[in-house]
């Protein structure tokens, strides 16, 4: 190799390295309530998500990624501030981040990019709806697009008994694709990609609403899943016999129906079908956005990150909904692609949505704020087998936590009761090992990771917040005392 050639190659690699490191764009795609029913994650054999699967192949897919809270506002607030719910006390649907002492002044993920001269834009649901009343939201992203909802028909489609929460509905929506909220959210993201200034890098965040209930999608998407061909998740009627009584409190009084209700009303299969159809429709909108990114000519300089705020049960553990500390509720799709990321890789290390803030700052070459509690995944994005020395932790109200490593899930509730599952041998979490003598050392090792800081719900919290008074042990739910003599609703 002659000297001239070597020098040329060195210059080439230096240029290539500096191009990829110099403030890449970021396209962040958020999804609401999408569990692992995604083709590349294998959670349901009929999941139809070709665009998400293609995006996963373009980069590194995390197959063991978990939310920090199984509910919209606390999960998103954690991701966007880089702080755990157990640190901030944001456990419920309110308050928003700027209403809480622990997060009132912390720089958020979009702010870090904005301060680095990025063009920042948000459309759809990225922050939790209503958590940033205008004009406060203009202090986060500089530019805001529309955030349409899903619309509701005059009367519910699903055959559930009244009264019910208005969101508890599903079925084919009679309007055209272009009338659906997620279609319009994709339109907004496409427009933002086309009009983002070329003189600056961009940080564009777009948040899709489906498959969050109500699961409405145009009829053609339901036709992809004929009702009698829909495969129901595997469920055991005695699955809750070995879970602590306290596990019921986590979703006591929530609007999501029990599996028994769905079975009685013959709505289990229609809900599963609607979730699959809604996910497929939402996936098609992601496909439109990714095609628009390609059309900008900036795709090679763009980090694309996709995540869901938490999972969703569709009958597993005898419930539908979120708000649990089990795998179906905590496991989320998470994938990253673009400059500095190995394509076609799958990483099985336990990782957290909390890690996204430091990861994106790291990949973009920006200084991460000191307050962040997650860690950069840059090493795993280069080499999916790179070690990681911490598990993923999910919190649902003070005192209730799940710790997930590569083999086990350990859950401890506010009353001290426990669950332990061997996720390799028992991926459905059917057998609670917590009471077995041989589990003691495993539980002790997992319990070391329980958050040392575990604050009560922040003032102003409402909506389904469970609180435990450490002095008396009294547990309240939405301000109402609950205790040993209550009749906990069961399936």
Binding region for Ca ion (CB under 5 A): 32-33, 72, 309
Among 40, 67, 72, 347, the active-site one is: 72
Q: Which two tokens stand for residue 296?
A: 């900008």
Residue 203: helix, strand or coil by DSSP? strand
Task: For the CB of residue 131, give the shortest distance to Ca ion in the complex, in Å.
Answer: 12
The partner residues of 403 in beta bridges, in order of sequence, read 393, 410
The partner residues of 301 in beta bridges, in order of sequence, read none
Task: Give the residue among 179, 167, 142 at the shortest CA–CA distance from 72.
Answer: 167
Nearer to Ca ion, 33 or 419 (CB): 33
Nearer to Ca ion, 196 or 210 (CB): 210
Q: Which two tokens stand for residue 399?
A: 């005192």
Task: For the CB of residue 71, give the shortest distance to Ca ion in the complex, in Å.
Answer: 7
Cα 34 from Cα 40, distance rounded (Å): 13
Phi–psi pair at 208, nearest 5 degrees: -85, 150
Contact 232, 320 (CB under 8 A): no
Torsion angle (degrees, nearest 10) of CA 361, 365, 369, 373: 50
Length of the chain: 491
128 a catalytic residue: yes
Nearer to Ca ion, 33 or 352 (CB): 33
Task: For the CB of residue 43, give the shortest distance to Ca ion in the complex, in Å.
Answer: 16
Nearer to Ca ion, 345 or 465 (CB): 465
Task: For the CB of residue 311, give the shortest distance to Ca ion in the complex, in Å.
Answer: 9
Give the β-pairing of 215-218 and 170-173. Answer: parallel
Q: Which uninterrupted H or E stretch holds 351?
A: strand 351-352
Nearer to Ca ion, 74 or 340 (CB): 74
Task: For the CB of residue 420, give the shortest distance to Ca ion in the complex, in Å.
Answer: 27
44 a catalytic residue: no
**DSSP code for 316:** G
Q: Closest residue to Ca ion, Cβ-based?
A: 72
Q: Which two tokens stand for residue 72?
A: 């919209």
Cα 341 from Cα 161, distance rounded (Å): 49
Among 91, 128, 212, 313, the active-site one is: 128
Task: For the CB of residue 469, give the shortest distance to Ca ion in the complex, in Å.
Answer: 29
Q: Write the DSSP string, 247-276.
A: HHHTTTT-SSPBHHHHHHTT-HHHHHHHHH
Nearer to Ca ion, 30 or 375 (CB): 30
Residue 139: helix, strand or coil by DSSP? helix
- As annotated, the active-site residues are 72, 128
């Amino acid at each position: 190799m002659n000297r001239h050639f070597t020098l040329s190659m060195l210059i080439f690699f230096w240029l290539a390295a500096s191009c990829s490191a110099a403030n890449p764009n970021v396209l962040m795609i958020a999804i609401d309530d999408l569990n692992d029913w995604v083709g590349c994650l294998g959670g349901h054999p009929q999941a139809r998500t070709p665009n998400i699967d293609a995006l996963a192949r373009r980069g590194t897919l995390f197959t063991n990624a978990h939310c920090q809270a199984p509910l919209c506002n606390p999960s998103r607030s954690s991701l966007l501030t880089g702080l755990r719910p157990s640190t901030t006390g944001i456990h419920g649907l309110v308050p928003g981040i700027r209403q809480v002492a622990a997060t009132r002044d912390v720089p958020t993920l979009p702010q870090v990019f904005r301060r680095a001269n990025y063009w920042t834009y948000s459309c759809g649901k990225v922050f939790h709806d209503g958590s940033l009343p205008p004009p406060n939201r203009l202090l986060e992203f500089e530019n805001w697009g529309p955030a349409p909802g899903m619309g509701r028909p005059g009367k519910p489609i699903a055959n559930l008994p009244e009264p019910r929460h208005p969101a508890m509905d599903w079925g084919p929506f009679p309007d055209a694709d272009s009338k659906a909220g997620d279609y319009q959210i994709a339109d907004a993201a496409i427009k933002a990609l086309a009009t983002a200034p070329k003189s600056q890098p961009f940080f564009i965040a777009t948040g899709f609403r489906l498959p969050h209930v109500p699961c409405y999608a145009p009829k053609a998407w339901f036709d992809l899943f004929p009702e009698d061909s829909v495969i129901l998740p595997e469920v055991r009627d005695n699955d809750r016999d070995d879970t602590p009584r306290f596990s019921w409190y986590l979703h006591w009084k929530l609007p999501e129906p029990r599996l028994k209700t769905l079975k009685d009303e013959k709505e289990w299969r229609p809900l599963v079908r609607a979730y699959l159809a809604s996910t497929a429709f939402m996936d098609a909108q992601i496909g439109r956005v990714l095609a628009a990114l390609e059309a900008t000519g900036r795709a090679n300089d763009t980090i694309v990150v996709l995540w869901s705020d938490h999972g969703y049960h569709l009958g597993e553990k005898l419930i539908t909904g979120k708000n649990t500390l089990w795998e179906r509720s905590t496991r989320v799709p998470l994938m990253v692609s673009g400059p500095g990321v190995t394509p076609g890789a799958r990483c099985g290390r336990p990782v957290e949505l909390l890690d996204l803030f430091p990861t994106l700052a790291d990949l973009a070459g920006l200084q991460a704020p000191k307050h962040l509690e997650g860690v950069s995944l840059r090493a795993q994005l280069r080499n999916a087998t790179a070690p990681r020395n911490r598990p993923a932790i999910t919190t649902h109200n003070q005192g209730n936590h799940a710790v997930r490593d590569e083999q086990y899930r350990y859950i401890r509730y506010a009353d001290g009761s426990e669950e332990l599952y061997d996720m390799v041998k028992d991926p459905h979490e059917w057998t609670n090992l917590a009471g077995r003598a041989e589990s003691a050392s495993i539980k002790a090792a997992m319990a070391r990771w329980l958050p040392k800081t575990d604050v009560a719900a922040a003032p102003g919290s409402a909506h389904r917040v469970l609180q435990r008074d450490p002095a008396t042990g009294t547990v309240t739910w939405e301000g109402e005392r609950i205790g040993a003599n209550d009749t906990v609703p069961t399936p």
